Structure 1
Amino acid sequence: MDRIDGRPASSQAAPLSPASTERLDRLFQLYSSRVLAYAATRAKRPADADDIAGLAWVKACVTVHRLQGPDS
């Protein structure tokens, strides 16, 4: 079955490693309010800010293993 974005379900991202999970949790704790505030400035409707921020965190989940800089 294909996903909504047109990619086959088999091409979904692999599960996060324990280290990536911890790093993502740390990043979320540090930056979640900033990401939401930025999303609110970009949203056409205030109600969309949560969805925009959520999509940003989904992208972070997929790419957290490529981050090379410090979390701070």
Structure 2
Amino acid sequence: MQNADLFEVIERHPTKVSGAWVFRGTRVPVTALFENLKDGASIDQFLEWFPGVTREQVEVLLDRALASLTQIA
């Protein structure tokens, strides 16, 4: 997976959500996904709670995070 794929689904602007990484086209911070998953929410629940985020965005982000971890090992 290439970095371009990741930056097609997330973005960061200094004037948007205090410069936090958000899902592109939304104000939903990327950290919200990881916090909700950590607390036991499913991806389907997250998508229901944050309707502006798409499944594709979540999958690309998770795939990229996994790829980053396997490159470190």
Does the pair score TM above 0.5? no
Pair member with larger Rg: 1
* Structure with greater strand percent: 2
With normalisation by structure 2, the TM-score equals 0.31
With normalisation by structure 1, the TM-score equals 0.32
* Structure with greater helix percent: 1
